[in-house]
Every structure is written in structure tokens, then in C-alpha cells.
Structure 1
């Protein structure tokens, strides 16, 4: 009899299965850990359904890993796992060693304000679609907004206050103001419309 699915209380995404490799059930895996080969160092991994994946063996292959899971017996099973996200309970991860280090998932729930102190909302998600990390911020009313997680857009993270400070222009929250004198020059030449 198999054990019931396990749902982590505070799941942290560690990897995504990218498909099958070979005929014995090995999976191509994209790891998000600092040391990709440490993917199995935090205990068993779980998918969104609570199914367990125990790393038996791992080896590098170009930009991916080849992983053998105890629960995956053959290629057919490995093929069905393509795109499966693998999580670990947050408590299984070590605490950051430096004051300015953190896990991206720890940003969820932080308040967001501009450098001028205006409230923007709260971080509701952290995404990476391949071009860098993006923060999803939910304002008190209205739709969520996406902010690039870069030093220009997010110059300060105040962990003590639980606040993430953004620069509106770099974060894409406001249109760039015309430089002083641009409006007058445009008026003097008859405007910009032809």
C-alpha cells in the first residue's frame, strides 16, 4: 500500500523535469539550486499532486542534469513527467549565511513601495520565464503588475521592515517624464504631429 500524497506547507521550487533520457527511466532535469548537483541533498522532492521523488543518482549533461528517481522505473513513466515541477519544504533548506542573501520565495508577502514611499502592493509571486526573475505584485485594487527583479528596478530590500523598495521608472510602473525643455522645443517647432 502506497503512502498518501504529501503537500509541503511552504513549498519551494527546486527543479523542473524536462523529459526522458534513455530507456531506464532517467529524466532530464533543470535544477534551480546554487549547486545543481545538490538537488537531492534536501531530502525527497514532491510535485504539485504531492507525489514523492527520491533522487537515486544525478549527473551533469550540458546545461541540464540527468537524474534517476527511485519512483521512476522506465522511459514511459519518465516521458509522462515532462514539465513536472519539483518542490521541497522550505524548512529543509539551509538558512542564508549572509544578511543580503535570501531565497526568492522569501520575497512573497513583502510589501512593495516606491523610493518616494508610495504604496504599490504586495509581492504575490516570483517567476522566471527564461529572461530573468520577475516579481508579481498585487496592488490593493486592480490587476497584478510584473516588475523585473533587477538592481535598477529594486534598489533596496528592507528585510527588517518587510518592504521591497522599487524605482518606478526602471520597474515599468510609470512613463518616463520628458526632460526639461523638451515640451517647449516641441511647441516652438509646431508640435510633433505632421
Structure 2
């Protein structure tokens, strides 16, 4: 599974710098000069697959609250504009959430079974939706395959056992069809 750590928003200036929307908690570790990253270009109309290439970072700096990145071989605005929408990817296996018991990456939750604190099977985490107010776990119900949206807050999701399961304490009506 791939994790997106950044997305090229647009070019900056005439020397090929790129404005990157950062999607990682560790940009200072991921966007270091000399680092080679996989990049996935947006799918061209009519194309069946996306194109992937490797890019080497030659420079990275903050400018007005945004990350500006220079890549080897991208030396002018036209070349930079061709990379608009490029996603920088890393392998999820290379990342873990560390020792913080309340921090999880999406890939650590997806696929985990979900049970109530009473021990009833609810289903399996299929996705995590990140919203401005809070995150939601998208759970595929064990009994009928319907989608259940579970607010990812400690009152409802009190326990997650890494690599094992998610325990929930659902309020009345949350699991109803």
C-alpha cells in the first residue's frame, strides 16, 4: 500500500520550483535534498494506468507557509507545470506511528476487525475519512455488508489494539440499519 506524502499544487517562479501540498507529519524527513521519491502523475484522459517515475530532490525550503521543492531535471516553469497534480508516494511498510498510543496511520487501521466492548462483531475497517471536525472510520458491517460510519473519537473508540482489533462503545442507533 502506498502513502501520499505530498502533492504538487503548481509551479513557483521560472526556475522549476514546485509548490507542494504536504501530506505528512514529517516533511523535514521526507523532503530532504538527495532523497529519491516515487512520483505518480495524474492519469491522462483515456489512459488505463497512471505513470510512475522516480524523482530526486535537489532543494526544499519553506516560503510563506508553503513547501517549495526543486527536482533534478526540472529546470524551468514549463517542466514544473507538467508535474501539476503529481503525488509523491512512499511505501506504507516503511512507516509506523511510533510509541504514541493515540496516533495511527490509516494503513494501520484498515483491515482491522471491529467489535463492541460487549464482544459483538461489527465488521472490518475499510477506510478512514478525514474531515475538519473529526475523522470517521468506514466499517463494512459483518452481517450485511452495509457501510457504517463510526466517529473516530475516544468516547466511541476507546481501544485499539495495534494489529489486532478496534473496540467501540457505540451510542444508541449508531449500528442500526
Scaled by the length of structure 1, the TM-score of the pair is 0.68
| 1:144 CA displacement | 2.6
Which residue does the alignment assign to 1:147?
150
8 A Cα contact 1:40 1:54, kept in partner: no
> Which of 53, 57, 60 is 1:58 aligned to?
60
- CA drift of 1:29 comes to 1.2
User: What residue is the counterpart of 1:72 in the other structure?
Assistant: 74
**Is 1:137 matched up with 2:149?**
no
1:104 aligned residue:
106
Report how far residue 119 of structure 1 moved.
1.9
Report if the CA contact (8 A) 2:38-2:89 is conserved.
yes
2:44 corresponds to 1:44: no
Q: Which has the higher strand share?
A: 2
Alpha carbons 2:39, 2:86 under 8 Å: kept: no
Distance 1:86 1:145, change over 3 A: farther
Work out the CA distance in 2 between the residues paired with 1:120 and 1:25. Answer: 50
Q: Closer, same or farther in 2 for the Cα pair 1:127/1:28, shift >3 Å?
A: farther
Question: What is the aligned counterpart of 2:165 among 150, 158, 163?
Answer: 163
Task: Select the structure of larger CA radius of gyration.
Answer: 1
How many residues align? The count is: 163
Structure with higher helix content: 1
TM-score after normalising by structure 2: 0.73
**Equivalents in 1 of 2:55, 2:79: separation in Å?**
12
C-alpha distance in 1 between matches for 2:64 and 2:125: 34
**Aligned partners of 1:21 and 1:144: how far apart in 2?**
42
Q: Deviations over 1:67-105 (max 9, x none)?
A: 112253432333343333321013433x44416254332
Unaligned runs of 5+ in 2: 41-49
1:23 to 1, 14, 29: 14
RMSD between aligned alpha carbons? 2.9
After superposition, the C-alpha distances for 1:1-30 in whole angstroms (9 at most, x for unaligned) are xxxxxxxxx312212222221122211112
Is 2:35 the counterpart of 1:33?
no
Between 25-34 and 123-132, the greater mean CA deviation after superposition: 123-132
The structure whose RCO (Cα within 8 Å, separation 6+) is larger is 2
1:181 maps to what in 2?
A: none
